[in-house]
Amino acid sequence: MSTSTTQARYSSLSIALHWLTVLLMVAIYVAIEMHEALPRGHALRRPMEDWHIYLGVILLPIAIFRAIMILRADIPGIVPTPPVWQHRITLAMKVYLYVLMIGNPILGWLMENAEGHAVTLFGLGLPTLVGESEGLAGVVSEAHEILGVSGYFFIGLHAVAALYHHYLVKDNTLLRMLPRSGKQDSAS
């Protein structure tokens, strides 16, 4: 990953994909929470789980594409430059977020197949990654839950860090990830 201070923002594509990902992740969590909150037999309980799966499957290629992009991208530098220890934490957080966005859909997919269910996208059958296996289902289900639930804490931390940089440190961390406004364009 290279950095540059000459480029003020992430590319428009990176910004669009970041906020699309945020919407998808929110919907993924809302769907599974609703699934779990609804009583057994409720008409929406099953569709909520289906939507959790569909949106997770849609997120997977987007997250892989973003991960490839970030490896090739020229990342805009933060002004003023934060201390090195902060840079290391930011990097660790980015790696974690990619592990969550790519790892959990794969774990969810493996879990469904190991439990003997086919994964579909709005009814379109997707490849079966593993055969039915009670042992594997238990392990990947546990991993999916731990990684998924950890997301509440770490995504929250990621958002709080962005707001801390914007409102307290007053650097350009968040502005780099926001869509360009006409006013800012004419100012630069």
| Contact between 137 and ligand HEM per CB under 6 A | no
Kindly determine how many residues on this chain lie close enough to bind ligand HEM according to the rule CB under 6 A: 42
Ranges within 139-178 binding ligand HEM (CB under 6 A): 141, 144-145, 148-149, 151, 155, 158-159, 162-163, 173-174, 176-177
Burial status of residue 2 (CB atoms within 10 A of its CB: 0-12, 13-18, 19 or more) = exposed
For ligand HEM, what does the binding mask look like between residues 47 and 66, x meaning CB under 6 A? --x--xx--xx-x------x
Q: Which of 126, 113, 114 is nearest to 60 (CA)?
A: 126
Q: Which of 119, 121, 106 is nearest to 67 (CA)?
A: 106
DSSP-derived secondary structure for 63-96: HHHHHHHHHHSEEEPPSSPPPHHHHHHHHHHHHH
Ranges within 92-111 binding ligand HEM (CB under 6 A): 94, 97-98, 100-101, 104-105, 108-109
By beta carbon distance, the residue nearest ligand HEM is: 108
Part of the chain binding ligand HEM (CB under 6 A), chosen from 37-45, 46-54, 132-140, 179-187: 46-54
**Tokens 């997977």 belong to residue:** 60
